[in-house]
Structure 1
Amino acid sequence: EAYQSTKAYFLELAGRVTRLLNEVGYDYCPGDMMASNPSWCLSLDEWKAQFSKWIFEPSPKAVMYCTIFFDYRPIYGPKELSAQLTEHIFKIIEGQAIFLGFLAKDALQNPPPLTFFRNFVVESSGEHKDEFDIKARAMMPLADAARVLILDAKVGKINNTFRRFEKLSELEPLNKELYQQAADAYEILMRYRALQGLKNKNSGRYFNPSELSKMERVNLRNCFQPIKELQTLLSLRYQLAYLR
């Protein structure tokens, strides 16, 4: 009974928060990956069980959930709850190379967004036809790579992509330059998205590359090089050529 009343309280709270966020301009998640979804209102033990299932049974859907929920961080309340969850995750990942392999493989789903002639890969149809998706094509490949590598390094409490690459540059001196380039690229991409959002009064995710200046297009293209190098690193480190 106490469990049900506690869950009902947090679901009502989450519903209010998501509604208020929507009112100030944040779009609702089309996949319902929000705190107001009862599926994601769980106790600590339930979250441990959920992560264990995803890690031991890494189906495509489980891997997709991991790319979302591995970026959790405590906002309010006892931080030891998230610390216990992190400790649990690192403990069960130990020896689960196959899971990290699937997570790394997922990070390769979006290759560097340039055509053979170095033009931007844009949407071919739909509402955003001929527009560039900076989130899926450029930011997510960097965020996904950072997530795999930081998990493998068993580093918790860093959920920011820029800071993850900074930490990785400390942990792997041989790849320091690549990780610093990736961190810089991610920061530039975030700035571009924010500027496009302000200009177009939307999320800034989609925009027409032809409307950028020549220098802006060059700067964006330079951000794509670390994506290519990171994906090569992941492919070799996790032997993805042998993973089916």
Structure 2
Amino acid sequence: MNPTVSAGFFFERLVKVPNWETLTPTAAAHAVQINADPDHYTPYYAPAGAVVAALVGGDSACAASAVGGTAQQLAAALVAKIDAGNITGIAPDHLKEIRWIAAGEVHANCGINLAILQVITIAVSTFGSVGISDINRLCTNQYLGNPDSSHWANGGGHAVDFYSLDRTPTTGADTNAIKLLKTLLPLMPEGSATGQVQCRAQAGTSLELAGVRQFEDTCNHVHVQVDPAFTGSLKAGA
């Protein structure tokens, strides 16, 4: 009568079923529980999916569930994505900043905000592959004249710029950019911001982001930032 224990028993048996990943849900359940009717669970699959979708709250809640862990753990998972070619960069190299965190190395002015590591994790999980052009500009000595930039302020690393999503260049106003921002919106802490507001206006894809400031930026990337003084995690989900 304990759902946690029952589910645990079910999955322990399921993973021992040959090729269980390729079975239909009802066939997999039947292989574990040996029902009189192999198709017993077929009528319940769609309603169960609807219940789960309603409980998790869509993309943002699913994304939030994927970003737990310490900065080093998140960075290690991202390094695996880098090595697999799912995260790419351009010169100057900002991906080394992720590698250093994963290795437990501390390099002066080369840190990355935990929330930004979470943003990168959500982005690559959402699109399968992303291109990153900027993270900590203080680390790469790219001061561009704005002392308040989250790339630079308070040690740097409080912002990330994506130049491509799903191996497609982004303008900050395209479908992928809008999808990313809508996914992130419910998770971003107070004081967060994103660029390319004029790019979206020009493209007729303006976006209401309550609680997230929007500002003008070049239309060749998506800029996402948190307040340079913020030291926590993204929200757990809406």
Q: TM-score, normalised by structure 1?
A: 0.23
Higher helix share: 1
Higher strand share: 2
Q: TM-score, normalised by structure 2?
A: 0.23
